[in-house]
Structures are given as C-alpha cells and as structure tokens.
Amino acid sequence: MKEKLKLIYIIGAGRSGSTLLERLLGQHSEIFAAGELKQIWERSFVENQLCGCGKDFSQCEVWEKISEVFFKKIDDFNVDKIIQAHKKIDRVRFFPYLYLLKRKKKTNINIETINKYFYLLYRSIQEVTKKTYIIDASKHPQFAYILSMNDKIDLYVIHLIRDVRGVVYSWKKKKIRPEITGKLEHMPTYNVWVSSILWLVTNKLSEIAGRQSKVYKRIKYEDLASKPKKVLIDLFHFLDLNNETEDIFLCDNVAKLNKNHTVSGNPMRFRSGKIMVSQDEKWKENMGRKDKIISSILALPFSKKPPFKRMDT
C-alpha cells in the first residue's frame, strides 16, 4: 500500500502572514511550497497567471513537468468540473453541512471530485519535486475540512493567527496583484466590520477543521515575525524534520529566500534573496481608535479572554 501523502496546510484568516510562513518553511530541503492551490484551476490553468518564479504558469518548467505527470494520472480532466465543484461545496456557508457529512461518514460528488483532483495533483507535485512534504497555503477552513475526509492524505495543519487589528488594517490597504499581467488589478479591500467578522469566523472554523487533521498546531504571526528562527526550529521539530535554520538564516531575523514556484497568494511570493523578517505594526500608529475598539470587541468570541493580552487603543 502506498504511503500516505504528507500535506502541510496553512490555515487562518487572510492577511495574517501565511505567505511569509510558507516562504520560510519552503526553504527546507524536504518541503515544496506550492502556494494557494485552491486557486490553481482558475488562476493558473485557465488564466495563466504568473508563477512565483516570475514566468507565466504554462511557461514554468517545474509546473510544466507537474502538469504532464498530473494529466497522465487523471483520465477525465475537466477544469470546469473542478471549478464548479468548489463553487457548490467549498464555501464557508457549507461548513455545517460538511461537518454533518463527516460525522455520518458520508460524502457527495463534489467532495469526491475535489479530493480526487487534489490528491492526484499533490502526488504529481511530490513525484516531480521528490519532497517529503507539500505545502498548500490556501488558508480556507472548509477546504481543509474537505481534505481531512481524504484517507490517502496525512494532513498537518498549521493555524496562523494574527492580532485582529493588524488584519483589519491590512485589509483596508490597496495592494496591486502583480501576477496579473496586461491590466492593473488590486486585491479586495474590506471595512472594519467585514474584516473583523471574517477574522472571527475564519479562525473559529480553522480551529474546528484543524482538529480533524493528523496534527494541528497554532502559532501567532507576532511570534513568527519577531522570532522567525525560533518558530521555524519548533515547526521543523513538529514536522519531524532536520533543523536547517542555519542554512536559511544569516542571523536571527535575516533570511535567504530561494526562487519559488508558488501559485496565487500575497505579492511577497515574488521576492527572493535576503529579506529582513519583522513585524508589520503600522496599524498601531495609523489605525483609528474607533476601528481598534470595534475590531477588538468583535474578536472576543474566539476565546474566553481577549485574543491578545495587550490592547493598544
């Protein structure tokens, strides 16, 4: 019997630092960082957006090889079929339904389609890259829950949590999407109410989904950004991998990033070379007092106490 596929799934609210975490983990010799693979069918196979290496997806040598292996494995590839399956089941509003299906040990055609396509895609990535672990940084808890129903996958969920105020502030900023060529397009923006509620719902569902996996670990963005080397050592131990931080970090907060082949995600995925890892704390000075209070109050239900000890208002 073939050994189960080892998948690292980064879960949590958007704008929490998942791209930074993925890039750092992806420097390990046994890990391939693949990006936000939930988006690969539409953004890569259909729209041919840029790979993290800077080339069009169809022109990237790595993804060209992976695609070739994948197409040999799947005899009924239909990109519209997998995109429609996501639309019909892979939504936050369907999370209670997914929960009930798993408890009753049932499934449906859309779940089976998603798990079939992704398992074969992950296997193709593994065969081409020869890595022990694949990272999928899709973040979405309902997608993680669907993957947890696949008995061919060992799911290692890393739940990344950032101070809600930092997330809210980040969602207000306009960011260009460099992976889209030929036109100027920005990432979406949200107001304090929408982004705070998204933070709360996503993190709560991420906790539920994470506990369905083989292993589940929570880390704070603030720890990752202020003590990246220490956090990475802990994560490599958690994944039962050799500690390679001395090859990744020039000093405690300066990392060397190699060229990567991630699909979709934060524009940071296009950076390589030396980077200074530090906290983005602009919200402390630039975020209004009212927004800080609203977001902090809306985030309280995630735990019995405030999500972070200090509340700078």
Q: Which tokens is 246 given?
A: 């001395």
3-state SS of the chain: helix, strand, coil percent to 5? 50, 15, 35
Domains and CATH numbers, the chain: 5-302 (3.40.50.300)
pLDDT at 312: 38
Angle at 236 between CA 234 and CA 237, to 5 degrees: 65
pLDDT tens for the chain, 313 residues: list them. Answer: 579 999 999 999 999 999 999 999 999 999 999 999 999 999 999 999 999 999 999 999 999 999 999 999 998 899 999 999 999 999 999 999 999 999 999 999 999 999 999 999 999 999 999 999 999 999 999 999 999 999 999 999 999 999 999 999 999 987 888 777 777 787 889 999 999 999 999 999 999 999 999 899 999 999 999 999 999 999 999 999 999 999 999 999 999 999 999 999 889 999 999 999 999 999 999 999 999 999 999 999 885 544 443 333 3
Distance CA 7, CA 313 (A): 39
Name the nearest CA neighbour of 135 among 43, 20, 226, 222.
20
**H helical segments located in 74-215:** 79-89, 95-103, 109-129, 141-147, 164-172, 192-210
Q: Which residues pair with 156 in a beta bridge?
A: 8, 215
- Identify the DSSP state of 69: H
pLDDT at 1: 58
Residues 157-169: pLDDT tens digits? 999 999 999 999 9
